[in-house]
Amino acid sequence: MDVCVPLNPENKKFLRLIYLICQSGDDADDDKNWFDNGRFEAPENESNTIESGCQRISLAAMMVQYFYWKTTGKTFRLEFDQQERKEENRRPIVYRFLIKDHDHHKLWQMNQKELWRLIANQLMNSTLATNDCKYLAFCSFSRFASKSNEPIWLPSKQVDGYVSLGGDGLALLSTHCLYCWPETIDEINERFEDQRPVNVNRFMNDSNNRNTRSGCLATTFGAVVHELGHVFGLAHRSTGIMSDEFNFIDEFFRKNNHHSNVCRRWWTEEDLTILNLNPWFDPCLSADDNENVFNITTDDDNNRRILHSKYDIRLLEYRHIHTNLVKKSKIFNKSSIKSIQINWIDKQSKLYILDCNGNSKTFYL
């Protein structure tokens, strides 16, 4: 499969790739004393060096970029290594980032949200920070640690340092199945067909009950596409990539290689509306940088709440506060509507609004 197309889009906004390294608890004051030398978890017959991890991540990012382009018609920009003269050999840059003040023991004690906040804060206060960048980061320190008193099928319970969380400007994921991912383009087909069983005594079986390395690849790679969807403004749905159907992303790659007749609908109309009006997908959008594009007023006489927009409204969604699942949505196709009454109020919902210029905002009602 040629995942080198499309050509990297012309856009000042881009996705930055990060390989996260932490200090070892043995001597956390030594910046060179990295936990497991920065290696990710893998069987003996798989390379798990920092270099191998970065190669797998850079190729996966190209595959994600390709998937978005083929399924939506648009995609995001990656940072490619311009030092490589041969265009066919160019790969996206993966930055190695050392987490400050936290060794692997401290990180293993954190839950997903705590890890996300820590990494987001450190990245945004680093030299890698820019307003035109969103991040896709991977934790090299995640490790399978079987716990018999916890559900064996939940990586959040069986993997120390586990995280699979995306939102705002960061998608953060573990590397507990990175060894199942291809390192070169030539390996893509082979890896998606890899029926070797997972050694469940040593590694997390994160395969959606398929119990194979190819299943682990499909589930964990699909999670990257899903979590990046959140970064680009999407919520949970009952179907498609933004549901648990991300587990079956291998069907897309097998279909393009004539191995499958499955034709799955990966995005809803609402998903496509949001992505098409995202500045990371369309550089021609003139989104404002201020917070005054949307506001809500209350009509005291009639006790009505009115949403006002500076520009034409394109989409309105009610999303569950905790699960981020869409409960109700409406697309306004090419209509000139700048204000609308909020009729459906639910204390467990938040309101997401998107205008024709790509401005968006979430209100907690």
- Residue 88 pLDDT: 60
- Residue 8 pLDDT: 72
- Residue 264 pLDDT: 83
Both tokens of residue 167? 């939102």
Tens digits of per-residue pLDDT, 191-228? 999 999 999 999 999 999 999 999 999 999 999 999 99
| Residue 91 CB-density burial (10 A; 0-12 exposed, 13-18 middle, 19+ buried) | middle
- Residue 87 pLDDT: 60
- Residue 262 pLDDT: 58
Sign, CA torsion 206/210/215/219: negative
- Residue 359 pLDDT: 94
- Percentage of residues in the chain having pLDDT higher than 70: 90
- Residue 257 pLDDT: 53
Question: Please, what are the domains in the chain?
Answer: 14-275 (3.40.390), 287-364 (2.60.40)
**Cα gap 23→4, rounded to integer Å:** 35
Strand order across the 313-320 sheet: 326-331, 313-320, 349-355, 360-364
Model-level pTM? 0.92
- Residue 10 pLDDT: 83
**Cα gap 1→20, rounded to integer Å:** 29
DSSP characters over 77-126: -B-B-TT-SSGGG--B-EEEEEEEEEEHHHHHTS-HHHHHHHHHHHHHTS
CB 277 within 8 A of CB 354: yes
The segments of the chain whose pLDDT lies below 70 read: 1-7, 26-32, 82-89, 255-263, 290, 300-302, 345
Q: What are phi and psi of 147, to 5 degrees?
A: -125, 110
- Residue 7 pLDDT: 62
Element counts in the chain: helices (H) and strands (E): 8, 14
8, 169, 16, 4: which is closest to 77 by C-alpha?
Answer: 8
Both tokens of residue 266? 């990966």
CB 49 within 8 A of CB 178: no
